[in-house]
A and B are shown apart, each in its own frame.
Chain A
Amino acid sequence: MPLWWPLLVASLLFAIGVYGVLSRRNAVLVLMGVELMLNAVNINFVAFDAQLRDVLHAGQTFALFTIVIAAAEVGLALAIVLLVFRTHGHIEVDELRELADRDESDLGRLDHPTAGVES
């Protein structure tokens, strides 16, 4: 199998993931985009491992490594999403702008930790 087949699949997968992260408003869908990007990388790892006939199979090892890390990451991210939903009542990513640099007139609100939570 030529190397460019899996590379093409990985590129498409990564591009879809980037598109999902950048354009989706729902935080869960953004996370799914991140997962797609991670798996595109995994395909690259495995493809090059087979192509280069690595005796230590470092590519496959790293693919497994990435899967484990990704599982942990998704667990953490979903917990955050859950908390965001509890505090804000929604998980629209483009609505979550409390960390923006504010005008000086807004600086006083930073003294209150609950600022921006009212809705």
Chain B
Amino acid sequence: MNGVLLAALLVPYVTAAVTLFAGHRSEVATKGIAVGGSALGLALAWVVAFAQLGDAAPLAHVFTSSRTVGPPIQLATYVDPLSAVMMVLATTVAFLVQVYSLGYLADDPRYPSYAALVSLFTGAMLTVVTADDLWMLLVGWELMGACSYFLIAHHWELADARAGAVKAFLITRTADLGLLFAIFVLGDRFDTYRISTIMRAITEAALPRDGLWLPAVLVAVAVIGKSAQVPFHTWLPDAMPGPTPISALIHAATMVAAGVFLVARTYPLFLSSPSALTLLGLVAAVTMFLAAVYAMVTHDLKRLLAWSTVSQLAYMFGALAVGAWSAAILHLLAHGAFKALLFLAAGSVVHAVGGATSMDVMGGLRDKIPDTFVTMTLGFGALAGVAPLAGFFSKDAIIHAAWEEAVHGRLVWPWVAWLLVASMVATAALTVAYSLRAWLLVFFGAGPEDVHDSPATMRVPLVVLAVPTALGGLAVTVPWILGGDRGEHLFHWSTSVLMTLLVIVTATVVLVLYNRRGREMWSAVVVPHPPIDWVWDRFLVRPVRRLALVVRAGDRDVIDAYADGAAATARGAGGLLRRTQTGSVQGYLMVVVVGAAAIAVAAGLLA
């Protein structure tokens, strides 16, 4: 089984290399390799993953190990149910994205590099979810950052795309420093970099409360950056100029999901330091509400979905902060399904109206792209938490867990839990409102006439993703697939009824507003530019630029001065020497004779 796992890890990397190599030589071959490679990776990942679901013993193996001073750095893998479901999610979404891209990027001149980077991205995510060594995890983690940079900048002729890519890269890289230093601290403390060993040690050692607050907070900083939470939240919406399938990949299966995954993987570390959990809870409470407000007022379909991703990720962190591990993972999976569906459907809508992403130019698309309409309706329903779609169960499980924590308070201060509950309920209402608004604006009312339906390669992935979106919620009835009995009851009648009531009330209000005011349901204030960007600019970007200026001046005026001075000296000495090159042969001879005579005289005097 370890061989299969290694193959599943290597297939995406090899596919990426071969796709790049095939390049433009044969369009059919490139597309075949890209899709075939991801299909093979999907099959291998499923073979590994399904054996590991439930109570199976985790699959741990060390392939090779470094022989250096200090704790060894190992190529070690560890597949437990968490890794298994993440592998399934990542490879499935990646495969569907590859199929979808056949249609979406049919005429794109940069398709080969795009397909190769998608494969590489998948490989990096698989590396992260199966790594048992912190350094190996860091490699995959950083590789994802690099891939997201390249893919967001796919349309690099657009200034927006370039700026978004640089922003995403810089913000996540800044936050990634947290992970790097967390690795240093953990390696120093436990004398090993193996995650499973460290987690077992933390669980068994009965450490004092907050004994490991430093690495926990550092990891929290890294995941807050990767998953675009406050105050690192602005990169995700600004990454929207990238191709839409990439947004599906980043938002559903890889990049931002890796943040939630890392907290879930190192959960004993967080449980041992409530201060980090409190930090996560506060960040989540602020983020989910703020992002939902932004989603309420934006007019851009893709930015709306991006803000909703930020908001839903905050739900997961909120769940992790109150100890609802299974609920968080369940929401991660459900979100992976319905957000991939929503983004791919949004791509289909954008394709239908000819490339614009603003919802102002959409409308009345209900009859013109029926497949997209049905599947996107399911996706919005799941996002809003409509029973019995996937998002309904997972969101209710999270809200109930936060309520329990607020009442019985074991992990975090009660006021943090109360804040989380309040924020979650308010955000749930806002989520219903902005989902319904987007749904109405895109599919109802008057709209463009010149609409063309998407090709089959784009519609089939939508239908495939609609199945888990619709039925995935039933997973709450089988929580054992995540392994062990954690004593968590994920389904609660009281919460479900209350949340359904909330959905109905909010939807009614929105529909009434829509009937009364038409497409401008609430005052469409221009989205304020997130002020956090101003703070970053003032306190990080500009000081760094100024520092760069100082360094440049030092380089030019100090170091270069020495180099230039040496050159000028040599040149001046050469200038003196060239005076003697008069071209007069007899002059040269005179110098020789006089010189020889002088040497002879000197020799005679000295001897």
A101 at the interface (CB under 8 A from B): yes
Chain A residue nearest in CB terms to B582:
A100
Selecting from A5-13, A46-54, A90-98, the interface stretch reads A90-98
Query: A residues 43-64 with Cβ under 8 Å of B?
Result: none
For A, the interface residue count at a CB cutoff of 8 angstroms equals 13
Complex contact A93–B578 (CB within 8 A): no
Complex contact A101–B586 (CB within 8 A): no
Residue B586 contacts which of A21, A98, A100 (CB distance < 8 angstroms)? A21
Distance in angstroms between the alpha carbons of A96 and B584 in the assembled complex: 7
Distance in angstroms between the alpha carbons of A96 and B578 in the assembled complex: 18
Taking each of A18, A21, A93, A101, which has the highest tally of chain B beta carbons within 10 Å of its own beta carbon? A101
Residue B578 contacts which of A18, A22, A94, A101 (CB distance < 8 angstroms)? A101
Distance in angstroms between the alpha carbons of A101 and B579 in the assembled complex: 8
Interface string of B586-607 (1 = CB under 8 A from A): 1001100100000000000000
Distance in angstroms between the alpha carbons of A30 and B583 in the assembled complex: 16
For B, the interface residue count at a CB cutoff of 8 angstroms equals 11
Complex contact B586–A93 (CB within 8 A): yes
- Chain B residues near A94: list those with CB within 8 A: 584, 586
B585 at the interface (CB under 8 A from A): yes
Complex contact B589–A21 (CB within 8 A): yes
A68 at the interface (CB under 8 A from B): no
Interface of B is mostly: helix
- Chain A residues near B585: list those with CB within 8 A: 93, 96
Chain A residue nearest in CB terms to B594:
A22
A86 to chain B, nearest CB (A): 19
B596 to chain A, nearest CB (A): 10
Complex contact A100–B581 (CB within 8 A): yes
Complex contact B583–A97 (CB within 8 A): yes
Chain A residue nearest in CB terms to B597:
A18
Complex contact B583–A22 (CB within 8 A): no
A72 at the interface (CB under 8 A from B): no
Complex contact A18–B586 (CB within 8 A): no
Chain A residue nearest in CB terms to B581:
A101
Residue B590 contacts which of A22, A30, A93, A100 (CB distance < 8 angstroms)? A22
A117 at the interface (CB under 8 A from B): no
B325 to chain A, nearest CB (A): 78
A107 at the interface (CB under 8 A from B): no
> With A18-B593, A22-B593 known to touch, is A99 a contact of B586 (CB < 8 Å)?
no
- Chain B residues near A21: list those with CB within 8 A: 586, 589
A97 to chain B, nearest CB (A): 3
- Chain B residues near A30: list those with CB within 8 A: 586
Chain B residue nearest in CB terms to A101:
B581
Query: A residues 13-32 with Cβ under 8 Å of B?
Result: 18, 21-23, 30
Complex contact B584–A97 (CB within 8 A): yes
Given contacts A93-B585, A98-B583, 11 further A-B contacts (CB under 8 A): A22-B586, A22-B590, A96-B583, A96-B585, A97-B583, A97-B584, A99-B581, A99-B583, A101-B579, A101-B581, A101-B582
> Which 9 pairs show the lowest CB-CB distances between chains A and B?
A100-B583, A97-B583, A101-B581, A101-B578, A99-B583, A100-B582, A22-B586, A22-B590, A100-B581
* B interface list, Cβ under 8 A from A: 578-579, 581-586, 589-590, 593
